[in-house]
Amino acid sequence: FAYLADLALRGSVMSGLLALTYWVDALKVVNTFGWSMQYVVVIIVFSVYMDMGNTACLAWYNFYGTLLPTLNVFFLWGWCPHGTTQAGVFSPTWWFGFVDFIAFNFAFLALNVPVGVRMFALSWQAYFSMAFLNPHNTTKFSTGFDDIILQGAAVGPLVGTIFGCVLGLVVVGPSPWGYTLTGLGHAQEQAIKLTWEEGKLWKAMVDYFCKSDQTV
């Protein structure tokens, strides 16, 4: 219980600090650069687990699953900077985006990628592709590495994901009220507990055979 309470307290404190960016006027500017702290909290929730190793693994899944559709949308908008807003529905540009969407989804459903990566990649790609295929789209996207738009619909969430992954590791790292939550530390605690139980068992055996605690 104490271990889970410690983990819950760490996550709650971090979420509360990020929530200040919506309550304190001086901090509201943080949410105007293209990413939001509420999405950072979402990434923290999907990243933080029982120890540093698992948290780092899940954070990597979240980052990797967001990075791939972002790179893919760079490819889409790099070739077609206006999307389908000029070409219209069922144009060659529209079919190009449609085939890209099908190929991307098929790859992630067919390949043996981790569930976390698949979940983030497919959800973001669905949003990006729907914006690309919509001839009335007004959402801004970066068209490549030479045209990075932080307020864009792809780069902003990617930056927010990076913040969330890093802060997720901070949550399970050293804190004023505890040490780093690691698998090794958890194993050491279990080893101490087992050693203590074994010591009690040996004491009971000695007491029994020394006739100080015989039952028969």
Q: How many CA atoms lie within 13 A of 104 on its CB side?
A: 28
Q: What's the rounded mean pLDDT across residues 113-119?
A: 91
| Average pLDDT score over the chain | 86
pLDDT at 177 over 70: no
- Residue-wise pLDDT tens digits, 90-103: 889 999 999 999 99
Q: Where do the structural domains in the chain lie, given as residue ranges?
A: 2-181, 182-216
For residue 216, is pLDDT > 60? no
pLDDT for 87 beyond 70:
yes
State mean pLDDT over 174-180.
69
pTM over 0.85: no
Judged by average pLDDT, the poorest of 14-23, 66-75, 102-111, 191-200 is 191-200
Distances (CA, A) of 54 to 48, 60, 199, 211: 8, 10, 32, 49
Enter the DSSP assignment of 26: G
CA distance 209 to 203: 10
CA dist 181 and 28 (Å) reads 31
Higher pLDDT: 142 or 112? It is 112
Q: What would the DSSP string read from start to end of 177-193?
A: TB----HHHHHHHHHHH
Rounded mean pLDDT of 120-126? 93
Q: What is the mean pLDDT of residues 129-143?
A: 87
Confidence of residue 60 (pLDDT cuts 50, 70, 90): very high
pLDDT for 190 beyond 90: no
Predicted local distance difference test score (pLDDT) of residue 9 = 86
CB-based contacts of 160, cutoff 8 Å, min separation 6:
35, 36, 39, 40, 43
Token duo for residue 90? 């069922």
Q: In 39-63, which positions are buried (b, 16+ CB within 10 angstroms) versus exposed (e)?
A: bbbebbebbbbebbebbbebbebbb
DSSP state of 203: H
**Best CA proximity match to 34, nearest among 154, 135, 184:** 154
Question: Percent of the chain having pLDDT more than 90?
Answer: 41
Mean pLDDT of 129-133: 91
Is the C-alpha dihedral spanning 83, 84, 90, 92 positive or negative? negative
